[in-house]
Amino acid sequence: MKIHDVTIEDNFAEAFRMWACRLIVTAIDEHWLRIAASEVTGYGTSVIGCDAEAGIERWLEPDATPDGRPGVALLFFAFNAKALKTAMPNRLGQCLMTCPTTAVFDGMAHAVSPQSQSATPTQASKDFERFDFGNAIRYFGDGHQKSKVIQGVEGAEGTNAQRVWRIPVMDGEFTVSDTIDACKAIGGGNLLICGKDQRAALDAAAAAVKSIADMPNVITPFPGGVVRSGSKVGSRYKALFASTNDAYCPTLRGKVASQLSDDTGAVYEIVINGLTEEDIARAMYTCIASACESKNIVAIDAGNYGGKLGKFHFRLHDVMTNEGAA
Q: Which residues bind another protein (CB under 8 A)?
A: 26, 28, 63, 66-69, 101, 103, 146, 148-156, 158, 164, 166, 171-173, 175
Using the minimum distance from each CB to another protein, give the nearer residue, 115 or 147: 147
Using the minimum distance from each CB to another protein, give the nearer residue, 97 or 164: 164
Task: Write down the least CB distance from residue 101 to another protein, Å.
Answer: 7
Task: Write down the least CB distance from residue 252 to another protein, Å.
Answer: 53
Task: Write down the least CB distance from residue 219 to another protein, Å.
Answer: 25
Residue 104 · residue 91 · CB < 8 Å: no
- The whole-angstrom separation of Cα 275 and Cα 214 is 15
Task: Write down the least CB distance from residue 144 to another protein, Å.
Answer: 8
Using the minimum distance from each CB to another protein, give the nearer residue, 71 or 274: 71
Q: Determine how β-strand 172-177 pairs with β-strand 103-106.
A: parallel
Task: Write down the least CB distance from residue 108 to another protein, Å.
Answer: 18
Secondary structure percentages of the chain, helix, strand, coil, to 5? 30, 35, 40
Using the minimum distance from each CB to another protein, give the nearer residue, 61 or 197: 61
- The whole-angstrom separation of Cα 61 and Cα 68 is 8
3-state secondary structure at position 211: helix
- The whole-angstrom separation of Cα 95 and Cα 181 is 20
Measure CA of the first residue to CA of the last residue in the chain; give whole Å: 19
Task: Write down the least CB distance from residue 86 to another protein, Å.
Answer: 26
- The whole-angstrom separation of Cα 23 and Cα 28 is 17
- The whole-angstrom separation of Cα 184 and Cα 274 is 10
Using the minimum distance from each CB to another protein, give the nearer residue, 103 or 287: 103
Using the minimum distance from each CB to another protein, give the nearer residue, 35 or 207: 35
Count H helices and E strands in the chain, helices first: 6, 18
